[in-house]
Each structure stands twice: as C-alpha cells, then as structure tokens.
Amino acid sequence: MKLCRFGQDRLGVVIGDMVHDVTAAQDQIRAQAPYDMRGDAVIAALPEWRGRIDEMAKSAPGAPLASVQLLPPVARWTKTMAAPTNYRDHIAEMEANRAGAPSKMGPDIGKAGIFLKANSSVIGMNEEIPIRFSDRRNDHEAEIVIVIGKTGTDISQERALDHVAGYALGLDMTVRGPEDRSFRKSVDGYTPLGPWIVTADEIADPDDIPFTLSVNGDKRQDSNTQHMVYSMRRLIEFASSFYTLYPGDLLYTGTPKGVGPVQPGDIIRVNALPQFGELRMNVRAHKIGG
C-alpha cells in the first residue's frame, strides 16, 4: 500500500496515478487515540486498519496525483533521526573535501551515533526547499527513510523489521559550515519527505533498494542500500539502544557519494524502485520573515 497525506490534512491511498481519499478512516482512528500518545495514531493503527483502508480506497473516488498537494506522509511523530557516514564511498568523499583537517565526529557511525534533525524541518512535495544561506554551500543528500510502525526499545536486529511500517524517499539537506551538525541540518524545509509511504510488505529486501538523485536532470547520486555500513536492521537496533522508537518516527539512513551543492531555481529528483514514486523538490531562496 502507498499511503499519502494531501490537501488539508487528508489521508490518501495511491493506486496507479490516482489518490483515493480515505480521510474517514483517519478521523475514526484519531478520535480513538489518546491526546497524549507518543507517535502517529494512523501509523500505529495500520496493522488493525489496513484491510478496511484498502476496501475504502477501492470504493473512494480518485483524484489525479498531479492535481493534489502532497504533504509529508506522516502527520505526527516524535523524532527525526539520521545516520551519518553510512556509505563508505561518501565517507571517502567527506574526508577528501575536508582536505586534511581532522573531523570532530570521525567517520565511524558506531562512534558518531545517530543524530537528530528538528521535526519542524520536515516538508512534503507541496513546499519548496528554501535556501537560507545562499552565500554558503547547501548540499543535497538523497536517503531512503524508515518509517517506524510500532513502539519499541532495545530492539534486536532479528525483530527490527517487525517495527517498520514502511519506507519513503528523503533529502537530508545541509548547510556546510562550523556549527553543530544538528543545527545546520535543521533549517526549515531542509528535510523533504515523500511522496508517500510504501508499506514494508511491498519491499522485498530493504537492504537492496537502488536509488538515484538528479539535479536539473543531471544524475549526481546513484547507489543501493546494499552499500550501507549499518543495514536497516542494525540502524534500528542501534537507534533503539538509545531511544524508544514510536509509530511514525523517521530514520534517515544515510547518503552515498555524489553529495553536491544546489542553488535557488534547481530541481532535485530522488528515485528508487517504482513503488516509491518520485520525490521532486524545487529549490528557492528563503525570504526574510517567511
């Protein structure tokens, strides 16, 4: 199932190039969810509701995907996690760019840990990426994103995939510079996510997802999750050894080589297996005050 959010907080199922409105399910699920729950009620309810949502989608009228504004596919989540240096070829690229100056963090994800991006930096395809520091280098990082499906902590690798609701395409945008990584990567709009969530059952092997990124039609990143230093299972085990993971939590799994700068006016496209769709983001200049 391909689950999206669109328009004014509506829930949709994508079938072909149509979006079928299943907001009635979202309304019922949210009405039953405690206000103080951690995580996203719809994602948490998916195992129970999946069949009913499928049925509703079949009978709901569809609207062409191209006619709707796609929001981030999760409405409420507790944290946006991201793996640094999780592809060896990107580590080599970072070290080369650093030109001899030693890294504070080090290239070992096991030592550097998972970092957090502000939830407020996440945007959907309905928005554009607003470049805030055009005098500095602003880089794209194409990443496959895990969407957590159920609450868990100290999750073993053996059970890790049981905690996955699905996957999506993401961009971990970065302002280059001396500030703390979390600060530089949490600028408003610097964490695009979309176009929808592909549920885990549609992905045969999450550690074998080919994906590419292009800027204005030029391919810059071209890799496969099989080249990750920490696999999907190991990332979940690692993150959950520090944090309880909640439904809807996002885990950006790292970027391969080919990271490069973007400018206002650029169009970034991230593609993977066909079921992921395409994350297409316009880049614009930030306007002071909005």
Binding site for Mn ion (CB under 5 A): 141, 172, 255
- The nearer residue to Mn ion, 199 or 255, going by C-beta atoms, is 255
**Which of residues 75 and 94 has its CB atom nearest to Mn ion in the complex?**
94
- Shortest CB 75 distance to Mn ion, Å: 23
Least distance from Mn ion to the Cβ atom of residue 222, Å: 16
**Lookup: tokens for 8:** 């004014």
30 Cβ contact partners less than 8 Å away, ≥ 6 residues apart: 41, 42
Residue 14's contacts (CB-CB under 8 Å, 6 or more residues apart) are 2, 3, 4, 20, 65, 195, 196, 277
Which residue is listed with tokens 């969810």? Answer: 33
Q: Please report how close the Cβ of residue 228 comes to Mn ion at its closest, in angstroms.
A: 12
**Closest CB to Mn ion among residues 3, 283:** 283
Minimum distance of Mn ion from residue 19's CB (angstroms):
29
Nearest residue to Mn ion, by Cβ distance, number only? 172
Q: Which is nearer to Mn ion, 172 or 249 (CB)?
A: 172
221 or 255, CB closer to Mn ion? 255
| Minimum CB distance to Mn ion smaller for 40 or for 141 | 141
User: Do residues 217 and 95 touch, judged by C-beta distance below 8 A?
Assistant: no
Q: Between 21 and 141, whose beta carbon lies closer to Mn ion?
A: 141
Say which residue the tokens 């569809």 belong to.
62
Contact 138, 173 (CB under 8 A): yes
Shortest reach from residue 5's CB to Mn ion, in Å: 23
Burial of 286: CB neighbours in 10 Å, binned 0-12, 13-18, 19+: middle
Quick one: 223 exposed, middle or buried, by C-beta within 10 A (0-12, 13-18, 19+)? buried
CB 176, min distance to Mn ion, A: 13
Q: Closest CB to Mn ion among 24 and 92?
A: 92
Query: What gap in Å lies between CA 202 and CA 110, rounded to an integer?
Result: 30
Residue 36: CB minimum distance to Mn ion, A: 31
Least CB distance from residue 244 to Mn ion, whole Å?
23
Residues 248/147, Cβ–Cβ less than 8 Å: yes
